[in-house]
Amino acid sequence: MEKKKLVVIGNGMAGARTVEEILARGGGAQFDITMFGEEPTGNYNRILLSNVLNGSYKEDEIFLNPLSWYEENNVRLLAGKRASGLLRRAKLVYGEDGIPEHYDKLIIATGSRAFIPQMEGTYMPDGSLKPGVFVFRSLDDCRQIAEWARGKHSAAVIGGGLLGLEAARGLQNFGLDVHVVHIGSHLMPQQLDPGAGDILRKSMESLGIKVHLKKNTTTIIGPENVLGLAFADGGNLECDMVIISAGIRANWEIAAGCGLTVERGIVVDDQMRCADDPDIYAVGECAQHRGHMYGLVAPLWEQAKVLADHITGKNTRAAYHGSKVATKLKVMGVEVASMGIVEPQLPEDEVVQFSEPKRGTYKKLIIRDGRLVGGILLGDISKAAYLIQTFDRNTPLPEERLHLLFDIGDPPKQVTFAEMSTNTQVCNCNGVSKGALIACVNSGKRSAKAVMDATRAGMGCGSCKSMVAEIVEWACGGETEEDPSVHYYVPGVPLTKPELIRAITERELKSVSAVFDYLAGGKEDAASKPGLASLLKTLWKGEYEDEKDARFINERIHANIQKDGTFSVVPQIPGGITSPAQLRRIAFVAEKYHVPLVKLTGGQRIDLLGIRKDDLPKVWHDLDMPSGYAYGKSYRTCKSCVGSDFCRFGLGDSISLALKIEKEFQGFDSPHKMKLATAGCPRNCSEAMVKDLGAVAVEGGQWEIYIGGAAGSSIRKGDVLCKADTHEDVLMYMGRFIQYYRENAKYLERTHGFVERIGIEKIRSIVIEDSEGIAERLDREIAESKAAYKDPWKDAWLPENDNQFASVLPILQ
Amino acid sequence: MTAHSETGHSGTQQGATNLMTEIKLGPAANIPAGQGRVYEVEGERIAVFRTRGGDVYAVQAECPHRGGPLADGLLGGTTLICPLHSLKFDIKTGAALFGDCGLKTFPVAVDASGQVVLLR
Ligand code: SRM
Ligand SMILES: Cc1cc2nc3c(=O)[nH]c(=O)nc-3n(C[C@H](O)[C@H](O)[C@H](O)COP(=O)(O)OP(=O)(O)OC[C@H]3O[C@@H](n4cnc5c(N)ncnc54)[C@H](O)[C@@H]3O)c2cc1C
Ligand code: SF4
Ligand code: FES
């Protein structure tokens, strides 16, 4: 296939990101890509320029795509070359040097530039800015400012917006006396109301920045270089340098020059195409979509995705519908977050407000129809993340408004389904609204499962499943039908778990394909495979015939898949206990394989994220540590606290118990993951009471065993199963419960659901009092599973076949 | 072993075989039964699957949803589940079994010597 020519004008945040998105969709095979970049470098994170100026980042730390990236990805970057003209009929873009580039598809991502208001004395006769006058947009500006600032005494920033304040704070870093000169009556007028602006002014002044409001600068004084500013009211201000930060203007000239529609920016449709030419796209700050221009990066990420989907043909129906914007000020010592409108606009808009000027705290929410349409947080922005999300998703707010502004103990109340509006998003993973669920019920689906299958609601993280079921029931008027398959262990084999276990053991079915052959009429069902594999492994242990295709990719290659198709590797670190030698090996591996992220997990272990599939066996080999099973529906790990060896409160040896637990249950397949913990006393530092299984040391040398705890998407304190006298007893009772759970839980039923369904009394009578006479058998099964343990990372030495870990197979002619 | 070329507009069916080139991808046995593997053909990434029944099918390598690696998915019959967010596809027709964005398919077959052959 002949590759098409894609030319991109502008190598900034939008241009480079769009190219990344295109490459991620296989666009490298469709296009030869050439980029014009006026700046001589690769693409850097412009947002962080404020941090470079204030000294918290070095220049080379802000690069997103260094020059090597372009080479590695076969992108031809004309660095330092400005595109100066465009001939649409001939499909040519001209560089400043007059050399044309032909394109089949063109993307304009020229961003914007600083707006310079009319002021006398801004320019020298040759048209250049007067020495000492700067704008703040590029790395080059940043360097020039830093160079000039050295040895000077005072600086003025014209413009009291977000950028101006960040620049002012940055200039203080050079030991300058810093002034902010603002034409309006309060700071950050785009994001704040006067009340908040006033508090912000005080906060800035307390940092030593002098703020001058309602000052219209008419002249930059000084014949050769900057000496001061003169204002319309007759006043003036001495200073050695000026940074103009009075807004931005889109760079649309190249588009207007060839007849494309331009208003304030280059006008694009929902696919980011120019109105008049389907082969030309515009993206980022230079683009105008449905009348809106965006000066923040979040919207342009969304735009880049849609553009890439469309241009590569991956999803020609992708559409950009505009973005809601929220901002935060990046000035150390001053916390500001803002979203949406700053003043009520309609009579029915409701305002919730709190102000404590002395402490610099101000909070204001504007609510319309029970939803957030605007918000300002100053001083304390602890609720910002929640509010921005609510604002962004347009989810209804709880009736109880106080909780919106403050964390006060108890969680907000549930809204009832009737009062919940139809477009409330119920499933946040797959974007399914209450209305979509009702429509699905009305179309004839009368069971929760049928509705979930049809809408995919509840099929993401699963945390909304019970709400989906309740809404379905409510929408059916309480008359839901039962889908018989909800009783099956897996959807593709029409048997309940006990029936299935019986059939499997009677016929000695040891592989997933054998189960399909004998119990499902030979019909394979993809979604049923992992559940069957897990059960067969539990029943047959070492005799189970492993068929890799039956396993979810994680269990097929013993690592957790990531959004970009790479994998994460978590070695076994029982109880969080490691050693310098292990840490050295981990460090060695992280460097050798260029691991992009090394992270301490919530499970007291170390996660190496972003590893290429092909490297996995090598990584395991070099680590020489057993798998931590962080990917499996299986026993995961046992957390632990310091316990009696070191802690002044420790009642029991939680560390050595955790190590024994790990040895006992490592690698066990189970209906869902099992996370364990041991705590040396009821202070519960390792969170043992909210684990699938936990052991907590109590006074009197005993251990309390908790089961069915949860602190993930559901939160539940575990039930006490029993007290045990010794570590060995803890292992025995835990083992019995684990085996009972493995045999009786539905696939993907966590212990908290299982314990609630069966009831703690019944479990206790079976596991502790042996009411069914199966305790001995459960113990035996556990011992056999333990004996069948094999570290899957030994696959590194003995792969299933040569290409188990190959991301691409070579073509052998 | 049966061979399949199911794109509906495949060259063979329109009698335009002479326009198509045959590309040998290597022995079918390189793809374990019930799994998929990726090949890069003239710069395009293609996922080739071998069902437990022995048939081979080829589709685009990346999921149209968010680019999930389809060859790492779960296969049952000709139903494929993407490993990232579990969208389902029929690899025989490319049809999406949920949602509306399907997969590009490629005619592919196993020849007499057991080689996987892709027609382009
Ligand atoms: C790495 C880690 C986050 C971290 O950086 O700390 C993590 C990462 C993931 N968790 Fe977790 N969880 C991690 C600790 C936890 C914890 C805390 C803990 O283990 O002590 C919880 C709450 C306890 C619990 O499990 O209930 C937790 C509750 C979840 C849940 C919700 C489970 C539930 O039913 O409530 C999921 C979703 C699921 O299992 O379906 C999940 C799923 C995931 C997955 C595997 C999502 C996925 O399928 O890809 C994440 C993998 C990220 C990746 O790309 O590799 N993770 N996750 C933690 C690994 C711990 C470890 O060493 O093994
Ligand atoms: C100091 C600072 C702090 C910021 N802080 C934040 C923040 O906290 N949060 C936030 O969301 N946003 C912030 N922004 C805004 C954010 O950086 C921009 O929204 C974003 O960079 C816009 O991306 P873009 O690609 O459209 O434009 P740019 O990143 O400006 O890229 C455009 C590129 O095109 C080049 N170019 C222009 N014309 C031509 C031509 N004819 N030929 C070749 N090349 C050309 C330019 O030189 C530039 O490199 C900040 C901006 C600045 C300056
Ligand atoms: S690591 Fe856990 S909490 Fe974080 S995004 Fe992934 S699943 Fe969600
Ligand atoms: S990427 Fe395939 S389902 Fe999301």
| Strand A43-44 with A63-65, pairing | antiparallel
Please give the pLDDT value at position A416: 61
Compute the average pLDDT of residues A249-257. Answer: 94
Atom of ligand 4 nearest to the CA of B82: 2
A396 band by pLDDT with thresholds 50, 70 and 90:
confident
User: Does residue B12 belong to any structural domain of this protein?
Assistant: no
- Report CB contact under 8 Å: B74, A314: no
A563 touches chain B (CB under 8 A): yes
Which ligand is nearest the CA of B87, by number?
4
How much of chain A exceeds pLDDT 70, in percent? Answer: 96
Nearest CA to ligand 2 atom 24: A111
Compute the average pLDDT of residues A445-465. Answer: 77
Please give the pLDDT value at position A125: 92
User: Does residue B43 belong to any structural domain of this protein?
Assistant: yes
Q: Which residues of B touch A306 (CB under 8 A)?
A: none
B84 touches chain A (CB under 8 A): yes
Q: Min CA distance, B48 vs chain A (Å)?
A: 10
A462 band by pLDDT with thresholds 50, 70 and 90:
low
Q: How many Cβ atoms from other residues are within 10 Å of residue A409's Cβ?
A: 6
Please give the pLDDT value at position A370: 86
Task: Point out which residues pair with A177 in neighbouring strands.
Answer: A154
Compute the average pLDDT of residues A495-514. Answer: 95
Identify which of B65, B70, B72, B74 to mutate to test ligand 4's pocket (most ligand atoms within 8 A of the CB). B65
Nearest to A809 among B26, B81, B83 (CB): B26
Please give the pLDDT value at position A115: 95
Is the model's pLDDT at A62 over the cut of 90? Answer: no
Is the model's pLDDT at B7 over the cut of 60? Answer: no
Exposure string (b/e) for A13-40, b if CB count within 10 Å is 16 or more? bbbbbbbbbbbbbbbbbbbbbbbbbbbe
Which of 248-277 (A) contact B at CB < 8 A?
none
Are A670 and A632 in contact, with CB atoms under 8 Å apart?
no
Q: Which residues of A touch B23 (CB under 8 A)?
A: 811
Is the model's pLDDT at B16 over the cut of 80? Answer: no
| Cα B31 to Cα B52: distance, rounded to the nearest angstrom | 11
Kindly report the CATH number assigned to the domain that includes residue B73: 2.102.10.10
- Report CB contact under 8 Å: B76, A524: yes
- Report CB contact under 8 Å: A801, B80: no
Please give the pLDDT value at position B8: 37
What would the pLDDT profile of A413-435 be if each residue is shown by its tens digit? Answer: 344 677 677 877 777 666 788 88
Please give the pLDDT value at position B12: 40
How much of chain B exceeds pLDDT 70, in percent? Answer: 82
A351 touches chain B (CB under 8 A): no
Nearest CA in chain A to B74: A526
**Cα A530 from chain centroid (whole Å):** 27
Q: Which residue shows structure tokens 């314990």?
A: A755
What's the total number of domains in chain B? Answer: 1
Average pLDDT over chain A reads: 91
What would the pLDDT profile of A373-389 be if each residue is shown by its tens digit? Answer: 999 999 888 787 778 87
User: Does residue B4 belong to any structural domain of this protein?
Assistant: no
Q: Which residues of A touch B83 (CB under 8 A)?
A: 552-553, 561
Coil/strand/helix, residue A75: strand
Is the model's pLDDT at A560 over the cut of 90? Answer: yes
Compute the average pLDDT of residues A1-11. Answer: 93
Are A570 and A601 in contact, with CB atoms under 8 Å apart?
yes
- Establish, for the pair of chains A and B, how many residue pairs have beta carbons separated by less than 8 Å: 115
Structure tokens at A145: 């400012």
- Report CB contact under 8 Å: B62, A25: yes
Q: Which residues line ligand 4 (CB under 6 A)?
A: B 63, 65-68, 82, 84-85, 87
Compute the average pLDDT of residues A369-376. Answer: 91
B19 band by pLDDT with thresholds 50, 70 and 90:
low
Distance A396 CA to ligand 3 centre (A): 24
| Cα A348 to Cα A293: distance, rounded to the nearest angstrom | 28
Neighbour-count burial of A284, counting CB atoms closer than 10 A to its CB (0-12 exposed, 13-18 middle, 19+ buried): buried
- Report CB contact under 8 Å: A29, B43: yes
**Cα A106 from chain centroid (whole Å):** 31
Coil/strand/helix, residue A405: helix
Coil/strand/helix, residue B99: coil
User: Does residue B72 belong to any structural domain of this protein?
Assistant: yes
What's the pTM? 0.54
- The answer, yes or no, to whether any atom of ligand 2 lies below 6 A from the CB of A137, is yes
A468, A199, A151: which is closest to A359 by C-alpha? A199
A3 touches chain B (CB under 8 A): yes
Distance A408 CA to ligand 3 centre (A): 25
- The answer, yes or no, to whether any atom of ligand 2 lies below 6 A from the CB of A42, is no
Q: Which residues of A touch B73 (CB under 8 A)?
A: 553
- The answer, yes or no, to whether any atom of ligand 1 lies below 6 A from the CB of A693, is no
Task: Point out which residues pair with B8 in neighbouring strands.
Answer: none
Q: Min CA distance, A387 vs chain B (Å)?
A: 27
User: Does residue B16 belong to any structural domain of this protein?
Assistant: no
Identify which of A464, A465, A560, A750 to mutate to test ligand 1's pocket (most ligand atoms within 8 A of the CB). A560
Which of 20-79 (B) contact A at CB < 8 A?
23-27, 30, 32-35, 37-45, 52, 60-62, 64, 66-69, 72-77, 79
Task: Point out which residues pair with A122 in neighbouring strands.
Answer: none
A460 touches chain B (CB under 8 A): yes
B15 touches chain A (CB under 8 A): no
* Choice among A171-175, A314-318, A705-709, A802-806 with the minimum mean pLDDT: A802-806
What would the pLDDT profile of A698-724 be if each residue is shown by its tens digit? Answer: 988 999 999 999 999 889 999 999 999
| CA–CA distances in Å: residue A510 to residues A448, A501, A517, A524, A545 | 33, 11, 12, 16, 6
* Choice among A112-126, A521-535, B98-112 with the minimum mean pLDDT: B98-112
Which ipTM score applies to this complex?
Answer: 0.68
- Report CB contact under 8 Å: A811, B60: no
What would the pLDDT profile of A75-84 be if each residue is shown by its tens digit? Answer: 999 999 999 9
Which ligand is nearest the CA of A250, by number?
2
Average pLDDT over chain B reads: 84
Residue A807's H or E segment, with its range, is none
User: Does residue B42 belong to any structural domain of this protein?
Assistant: yes
Please give the pLDDT value at position A448: 86
Are A572 and A666 in contact, with CB atoms under 8 Å apart?
yes
- The answer, yes or no, to whether any atom of ligand 2 lies below 6 A from the CB of A632, is no
Q: In what order do the strands lie in the sheet with B44-50?
A: B35-41, B44-50, B56-60, B105-106
Are B94 and B59 in contact, with CB atoms under 8 Å apart?
yes
Are A209 and A157 in contact, with CB atoms under 8 Å apart?
no
* Choice among A449-458, A619-628, A640-649 with the minimum mean pLDDT: A449-458
Identify which of B70, B79, B81, B82 to mutate to test ligand 4's pocket (most ligand atoms within 8 A of the CB). B82
Half-sphere exposure of A711 (CA within 13 A, CB side): 15
What would the pLDDT profile of A398-417 be if each residue is shown by its tens digit? Answer: 877 887 887 654 444 344 67
Q: What is the DSSP string of A684-741?
A: -TT-GGGSSEEEEEETTTEEEEEES-EESSSEEPPEEEEEESSHHHHHHHHHHHHHHH
Q: Which residues of B touch A25 (CB under 8 A)?
A: 62, 67
Range of the domain at B43: 22-119
Radius of gyration of chain A (CA): 32
Q: How many Cβ atoms from other residues are within 10 Å of residue B108's Cβ?
A: 27
Q: Which residue shows structure tokens 């990066």?
A: A297
Distance A729 CA to ligand 4 centre (A): 45
Compute the average pLDDT of residues A214-233. Answer: 96
Nearest to B86 among A459, A556, A811 (CB): A459
* Choice among A582-586, A596-600, B84-88, B109-113 with the minimum mean pLDDT: B84-88
What would the pLDDT profile of A331-344 be if each residue is shown by its tens digit? Answer: 877 889 899 999 99
Compute the average pLDDT of residues A392-398. Answer: 80
What would the pLDDT profile of A23-50 be if each residue is shown by its tens digit? Answer: 999 999 999 999 999 999 999 989 889 8
Is the model's pLDDT at A160 over the cut of 90? Answer: yes
- Report CB contact under 8 Å: A809, B39: yes
Coil/strand/helix, residue A84: strand
Q: In what order do the strands lie in the sheet with A236-238?
A: A217-221, A228-231, A236-238
Neighbour-count burial of B48, counting CB atoms closer than 10 A to its CB (0-12 exposed, 13-18 middle, 19+ buried): buried
A52 φ, ψ to 5°?
Answer: -70, -40
Distance A13 CA to ligand 2 centre (A): 6
Distance A603 CA to ligand 1 centre (A): 9
- Report CB contact under 8 Å: A808, B81: no
Distance A714 CA to ligand 3 centre (A): 14
A449, A514, A433: which is closest to A506 by C-alpha? A514
Neighbour-count burial of A649, counting CB atoms closer than 10 A to its CB (0-12 exposed, 13-18 middle, 19+ buried): middle
Q: What is the DSSP string of B25-83?
A: EEEGGGS-TTEEEEEEETTEEEEEEE-TTS-EEEEESB-TTT--BGGGSEEETTEEE-T
- Report CB contact under 8 Å: B62, A314: yes
Nearest to B81 among A527, A550, A564 (CB): A527
User: Does residue B70 belong to any structural domain of this protein?
Assistant: yes
User: Does residue B58 belong to any structural domain of this protein?
Assistant: yes
